[in-house]
Structure formats: structure tokens, C-alpha cells
């Protein structure tokens, strides 16, 4: 039986304060946990015996057989699955990021956990290994974000920094900085490079003015047909998908 102390510990990791103090985060679900186990150090894993029987050797410091009721008490999900795990939060260095020879995504104030999780999945799909986020972007290790990544977090590193300062440094190195704006150039007719930084803005306010001033490659995603009245903008995750797909398409031609 899962102790009350362990349930309290797991539940505390819903809050960023305790994730930071414990240097840990939670992942839930049969496939998600299986995808995360090879990528992160697992401190605690609780699962039904039926799930354990399908896994072979499980790399975790502490392994607990749990009944459905135990998992339900610890879970953040409405409909818990067969396994929940507590992982050590990894240490990723911003020095690993090199936009002079690869494509990087930068996120300016993304607030919705679902959007961040989806963008991480997109980055994984399009072979973008690093995301650089402003300090006010939602925490990647929030349970909702981890869940929304669907395991892509095992392949994409997410860094938090003072974004304006970081982009200024990259501009000095002549790294192209891309961003989407209503007054930008049609992305389908503009030259796109195989390296650089694509900046995506906040859901409601877009890219903040001080960041916009740094962007030297302004893009516009056209609607079709051009004369037809449409909604004002795209969801940031959808816009990210359109842009990444076009950048990679150009590389494939």
C-alpha cells in the first residue's frame, strides 16, 4: 500500500516551488512513462503488477506495486492509467545550443501548458533538439506540460533564460532571427535558412515589442485565398507547425 507520506510528496510536485526544491517531476501513463524511462533518472515508480509484467527490468531507485486506488490518490489525471513515475529533473546547459548550425525554437511568454507540450512534440517531429524559453514561459516540468508532450520531452531539451539578452547575443553572431508578424514577408516566397532561431510569441499578445525589435527576418503566414475574410490569427502551436514544416520542406528540396 502506498504511504500517505509518499502520496503527499507526489502531490506536492504539482507546484513549481516543490518541483524546484525536490529537483523532480511527475509523468503518468503507460506509454509516456515507458518512453521517459530511458531518458531520465527515475526515483520512484508505482504501477499495477500487470503493467510491470510487460516491462522486464525497470530502471528505478524505488519500485512499488500499486493498486488502482493508490494510483488514483497520487494521480493528477481524471482517469489515471496503470503507472506513475517521479523522475529527477535533468540539467540542460544553454551552452549546448548552437543556432549557427541548427534550427532552434525560442518561446516568448507561452502560458498554456497544452501549447508548450504540443510545441515540444512538433520540435521532436521536425528534428529540432532545443527550445529556448523566456523566464515567464510556463514550466516544462508542470504535470500538464509533461503529459501534453506525449513522450517527446525525452528527445527535446528546454532551456529558460532572459530571452532578450540571449537573442541580442545571437544577433551579434549574425544568427538569423525569424518571427511571424502580420506585416512580415510571405513565408512561402521568402528565403529560409537551415539554421537560426524561430521566435514564437505569447498566445494573446504575440512577440513582445523589445523582442520584435531584434528580429531581422519577419515572416507572414498567408491565409487562402488572400481576399477571403478569416479569423484574426492562428493558435501559436498551429503556427509553429506551419512554420517548421516549411523550413524543413525547403531543406528537403
DSSP letters for 88-153:
EPP---GGG--TTTSEEEEEES---HHHHHHHHHHHHHTT--EEEEETTSPPTTSHHHHHHHTTGG
> Among 28, 59, 88, where does a domain finish?
88
Measured CA to CA in angstroms, residue 149 lies from 97, 101, 127 at distances of 20, 25, 15
**Total domain count, the chain:** 2
Task: Give the domain CATH number at 26.
Answer: 3.30.1330.30
Residues 98 and 120 in one domain: yes
pTM (two decimals) = 0.94
Residues 14 and 43 in one domain: yes
- pLDDT at position 251 is 82
- pLDDT at position 253 is 52
Mean pLDDT by 10 residues, the chain (253 residues): 89 97 96 95 95 90 92 93 96 94 97 98 97 98 97 97 97 95 92 95 94 96 78 87 95 68
Long-range contacts of 33-41 (CB under 8 A, 24+ apart): 33/83, 33/84, 33/85, 35/151, 35/154, 36/85, 36/87, 36/151, 36/153, 36/154, 37/85, 38/154, 39/153, 39/154, 39/155, 40/87, 40/88, 40/90, 40/154, 41/87, 41/88
Residues 175 and 245 in one domain: yes
Count of beta carbons in the 10 Å neighbourhood of residue 234: 16
Residues 13 and 118 in one domain: no
Residues 54 and 155 in one domain: no
Q: What residues are paired with 84 via a beta bridge?
A: 28, 46
Query: Which range of residues forms the domain containing residue 126?
Result: 94-252
Residues 121 and 226 in one domain: yes
Residues 76 and 132 in one domain: no
> Among 28, 56, 88, where does a domain finish?
88
Return d(Cα 199, Cα 218) in angstroms, integer. Answer: 10
Which helix or strand (DSSP H or E) is residue 46 part of?
Answer: strand 42-47
Residues 146 and 55 in one domain: no
Return d(Cα 160, Cα 107) in angstroms, integer. Answer: 9
Return d(Cα 26, Cα 227) in angstroms, integer. Answer: 48
> Among 54, 88, 122, where does a domain finish?
88
DSSP 154: G
Residues 220 and 160 in one domain: yes
- pLDDT at position 228 is 74
Task: Give the domain CATH number at 229.
Answer: 3.40.1280.10
Residues 20 and 39 in one domain: yes
Residues 126 and 230 in one domain: yes
Residues 126 and 75 in one domain: no
Amino acid at each position: 500500500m502506498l504511504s500517505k507520506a509518499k502520496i503527499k510528496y507526489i502531490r506536492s510536485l504539482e507546484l513549481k516551488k516543490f518541483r524546484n526544491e525536490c529537483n523532480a517531476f511527475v509523468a503518468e501513463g503507460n506509454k509516456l512513462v515507458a518512453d521517459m524511462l530511458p531518458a531520465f533518472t527515475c526515483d520512484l515508480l508505482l504501477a499495477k503488477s500487470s503493467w510491470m509484467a510487460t516491462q522486464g527490468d525497470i530502471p528505478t531507485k524505488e519500485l512499488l506495486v500499486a493498486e488502482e486506488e493508490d494510483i488514483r490518490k497520487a494521480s493528477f489525471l481524471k482517469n489515471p492509467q496503470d503507472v506513475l513515475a517521479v523522475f529527477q529533473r535533468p540539467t540542460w546547459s544553454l551552452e549546448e545550443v548552437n543556432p549557427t548550425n541548427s534550427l532552434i525554437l525560442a518561446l516568448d511568454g507561452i502560458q498554456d501548458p497544452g501549447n508548450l507540450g504540443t510545441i515540444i512534440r512538433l520540435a521532436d517531429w521536425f528534428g529540432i533538439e532545443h527550445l529556448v524559453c523566456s523566464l515567464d514561459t510556463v514550466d516544462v516540468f508542470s504535470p500538464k506540460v509533461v503529459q501534453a508532450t506525449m513522450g517527446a520531452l525525452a528527445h527535446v531539451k528546454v532551456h529558460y533564460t532572459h530571452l532578450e539578452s540571449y537573442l541580442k547575443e545571437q544577433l551579434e553572431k549574425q544568427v538569423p532571427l525569424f518571427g511571424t508578424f502580420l506585416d512580415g514577408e510571405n513565408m512561402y516566397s521568402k528565403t529560409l535558412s537551415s539554421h537560426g532561431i524561430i521566435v514564437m510569441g505569447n498566445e494573446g499578445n504575440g512577440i513582445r515589442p523589445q523582442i520584435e525589435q531584434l528580429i531581422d527576418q519577419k515572416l507572414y503566414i498567408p491565409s487562402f485565398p488572400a481576399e477571403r475574410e478569416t479569423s484574426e490569427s492562428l493558435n501559436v502551436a498551429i503556427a509553429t507547425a506551419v512554420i517548421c514544416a516549411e523550413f524543413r520542406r525547403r531543406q528537403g528540396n
